Structure 1
Amino acid sequence: MPISLHAATVPTMLQLLGSAHGWIDKAREHGLSEDTMASGCLIEDMLPFAYQIKSMAHHSKGAIEGLRAGVFGPDMTDPPTTCDGLHAKLTEAEEFLRALDPAELDSLADGPMRFEYREFNVPFTPVDFLLSFSQPNFFFHATTAYDILRASGVPLGKTDYLGMIRAKQG
């Protein structure tokens, strides 16, 4: 049975964006200050938690916007640094993905697509862009955000990472 591009990407993005809300809430409940949470990183040369959350939104909502435009690049804006701002960034991506017409996403599968950053330019098919570039980046940033909070002592477990799985009903 063939699977649509929408089915291969959007539901899992929504699942982990939802999970990330829970990570932020657990960090607050655990007593992690907003500043400590937003600036937390695993090692000095790695970007902080707030950037990881921003990048989850960028490699979900931003990736689809990139497909529409035929070009995608990094989001160089500063990430939100408050819990409310982080939640808002996640919610914005979730609302965008929920409103996305599956047929529209699937219709973008044959269009032009490239990644651009400074002089770096990589041509992609839209399918390869989503499945070999944006989706792995999305998972990287989700995992890194989760790991930053775990390394900060926040009591998160695997079910916190997975969130609401899509189990067969009935």
Structure 2
Amino acid sequence: MALTLYDAFVPSCRQILGGMHGVIAKAEAHCTEHGIDPAELVEAKLADTMWNLPWHVRSTWVHSAYVISLLPTGEFSPDFTELPGDFSAMKTKIQRTLDELAQVTPEQLEEVQDKTVGFVLGGQRLMEFSGQNFLLGFSQPNFYFHATTFYDILRMKGVPLGKRDFMGNPMAR
């Protein structure tokens, strides 16, 4: 059986988001165990010119469930509004993203895989893609970048994490 766009995108997003949920639980436990103010981790960045933890959580939503909701419109513009400001809000954002992805069907993505999708930033249509190329060549790399950076920030701050934490539950047979 051929791999569908749905198969190539949605299950792996759900897997990594599940891992992020577990990573947050470990971060909370680390703060409690070591008397660290959670805000210290929430506001952490890998570098001064990079975004903090909440930005990366929102961006995993933007480049998964949100982008899928916008593909039928033919335009994608990143959402720069609400940031989840603490661990509880981050868990809620991740769970809502998982819930939204659970509603996506293979047919939905099949319908938009050849549709032209414009990347719009600051009111300017900067690039055009097919729906498939946008998901696999733009959103998927961004999704993994932000999920990885989220993990890396917490690892840098001393949260005891390993690769298995990042991966979540692999898609077994």
Distance apart, 1:6 and its partner CA: 0.3
Residue pair 2:9, 2:140 contacting (<8 A) in 1 also: yes
Q: 4+ residue runs of structure 1 moved beyond 3 angstroms?
A: none
Among 35, 39, 47, the alignment partner of 2:51 is 47
SS in 1 for 2:119: strand
Q: Which moved more, 1:42-51 or 1:75-84?
A: 75-84
> Residue type matched to 2:128 in 1?
P
Among 137, 145, 151, the alignment partner of 1:146 is 151
Q: Which moved more, 1:74-83 or 1:135-144?
A: 74-83
Residue pair 2:118, 2:125 contacting (<8 A) in 1 also: no
Q: Hey, what's the Cα distance between the residues in 1 that align with 2:41 and 2:22?
A: 13
Gaps of 5+ in 2: none
Distance apart, 1:7 and its partner CA: 0.3
Q: Hey, what's the Cα distance between the residues in 2 that align with 1:114 and 1:135?
A: 16
Aligned residues: 168
Residue pair 1:34, 1:81 contacting (<8 A) in 2 also: no
Q: Hey, what's the Cα distance between the residues in 2 that align with 1:8 and 1:56?
A: 16
Among 55, 67, 74, the alignment partner of 2:78 is 74
Distance apart, 1:37 and its partner CA: 2.3
Residue pair 1:23, 1:160 contacting (<8 A) in 2 also: yes
Distance apart, 1:46 and its partner CA: 0.3
2:111 counterpart residue number = 107
Q: TM-score, structure 1 length as denominator?
A: 0.94
Alpha-carbon deviations, 1:52-111, whole Å to 9, x = none? 011001100111012122111121114111111101111111101111121111111122
**Aligned-residue CA RMSD (Å):** 1.2
Q: Hey, what's the Cα distance between the residues in 2 that align with 1:19 and 1:78?
A: 22
Q: Hey, what's the Cα distance between the residues in 2 that align with 1:30 and 1:6?
A: 36
2:20 counterpart residue number = 20
SS in 2 for 1:30: helix
1:65 counterpart residue number = 69
Q: Which moved more, 1:76-85 or 1:11-20?
A: 76-85
Identity rate of aligned residues, in percent? 37
SS in 2 for 1:60: helix
Gaps of 5+ in 1: none
Q: Hey, what's the Cα distance between the residues in 1 that align with 2:158 and 2:38?
A: 14
Structure 2 counterparts to residues 81-160 of structure 1, below 5 A = 81-118=85-122, 119=124, 121-160=126-165
